[in-house]
Amino acid sequence: MQLASGTADATPRTFALLDSHLANMKPALQRDEISAPDSAAAKPRILIVDDNADAANSLGRLLTLIGHEVRVVHDGASAVAETELFRPRAVLLDLGMPIMDGFDTARQIRSRAEFQDVALIAITGWGQERDRQRTEAAGFAAHLIKPVNLDQLEAVLNGLSSEEPAGRIAKQVSPV
């Protein structure tokens, strides 16, 4: 499979193992939802944008299992269109996509007044200090390095509320 920064190999066995792992996790996650039904309803809607379809879809499955409503797209133009339709609370955005990178996608989303409070969260392999400074300057609420630590991502997402500006809340939870 061709990616923005190289290639990756995935086999049907990789997906079978992921599905098996997710199936094993689901009963435990459902018990947590039963013990705290209000927390599942309060989880923010998430749009995942990554040209690596396997990674994006896997992350989408995990976030769905823990109670988020999730949509997944694989390019910047689709992200802008889906933001309009889906109205997510947070956009998990790969920075290194071809054609329209994550920064251009973020600018397009931010150009609309109704999306000023959408939390933009960088999900990237770019982890140098200058990369973090660039995402902060571009208005990203958080900068997470692939492979994403699910606990860290959940901490950022749990810090979001509809009453507070997205960037300020997420930065309190996980600084850019």
pLDDT above 50 for 36:
no
What gap in Å lies between CA 90 and CA 121, rounded to an integer? 7
Interhelix angle for 150-158 vs 166-173, to 10°? 140
In a domain, 78, yes or no: yes
Model confidence pLDDT, tens digit, residues 67-76: 999 999 999 9
In a domain, 127, yes or no: yes
pLDDT, residue 160, reads: 81
CA torsion 98→99→102→107, rounded to 10°?
170
pTM here is 0.72
In a domain, 145, yes or no: yes
pLDDT above 60 for 7:
no
In a domain, 62, yes or no: yes
In a domain, 102, yes or no: yes
Q: How many domains does the chain have?
A: 1
Q: Which domain holds residue 159?
A: 38-173
In a domain, 94, yes or no: yes
pLDDT above 90 for 42:
no
Q: What is the CATH number of the domain that holds 44?
A: 3.40.50.2300
In a domain, 129, yes or no: yes
